[in-house]
Amino acid sequence: MKARYVMVFVAAGSLACSDVPSPVSSDMSTRDMQIRLTVNGTPAETRVVGGLTSPSSDLRLVDGDRLVLVTDTFETGIGNGTSTFEATLPPFGGNLVVRLERPPGRGGNTEVRAELAAPFAVVGPVGARISEAITLTWTGTPTPNGTTSLAVTGPCVGSQARVLATDTGEYRFNPAELETRTTKGPCTVAAKIVRTSGSATQTATTTFEVTP
């Protein structure tokens, strides 16, 4: 699995618009830093974006300070003047940690965690008609304390979005909930389910046809 991921390092200097040097991690104590972490998963891949910041700007990692990205299957670190990283990982669900590791005497290490729901699939109805209920079903389970939202869009149903009180793996749109519009032929409807926990989201999409 390690061979399937790609990590891209983005140097702080490439993001700046002025000649003012970016602050460096060695000049700050751990309590004055914050680790940024965003995780977006799909059935095809997992995208991780993170970095180290101060209250005012990004920080370049120098003098032995490093960020370490850890999942259940691998661990890798960055440093040497970088401030932001982007990683493309295989699809997965579970815990992901970004840890700041520092040499002794700089305030110690710190970390942030994200829990990503497992990849899942959403299925739309077969042979749906605009005058009938539209039922979406999806697989897997949400993370504890996470939220699940869904949306459908299409020329015959308008745009509808919901945040679910309980994720049961199924939701039914009754005809009265939809902005039903007459079309000359079959209408393609797109559906998206998003499971969110903190800064981590796992998304699944599908399309299906609805006939007048």
Whether pLDDT at 45 is above 90? yes
Q: What percent of the chain has pLDDT over 90?
A: 58
pLDDT at 151: 96
CB–CB of 150/171 below 8 Å?
A: yes
Say whether 122-211 and 2-116 share the same fold. Answer: yes
Whether pLDDT at 40 is above 50? yes
pLDDT in tens, 128-173: 888 889 999 999 999 988 999 999 999 888 899 999 999 999 999 9
pLDDT at 56: 83
Query: For domain 122-211, which CATH number applies: 3.40.50.1370, 3.40.50.300, 3.40.50.2000, 2.60.40.10?
Result: 2.60.40.10
- The CATH T-level fold of domain 2-116 is Immunoglobulin-like (2.60.40)
pLDDT at 3: 41
Q: Print burial letters for 105-128: b (CB count within 10 Å at least 16), e (below 16).
A: ebeeeeebebbbbbbbebebbeeb
pLDDT at 21: 67
Whether pLDDT at 13 is above 60? no
pLDDT in tens, 175-194: 888 877 776 788 899 999 99
Please give the C-alpha separations between residue 74 and each of 69, 99, 172, in angstroms, as whole numbers: 8, 14, 40
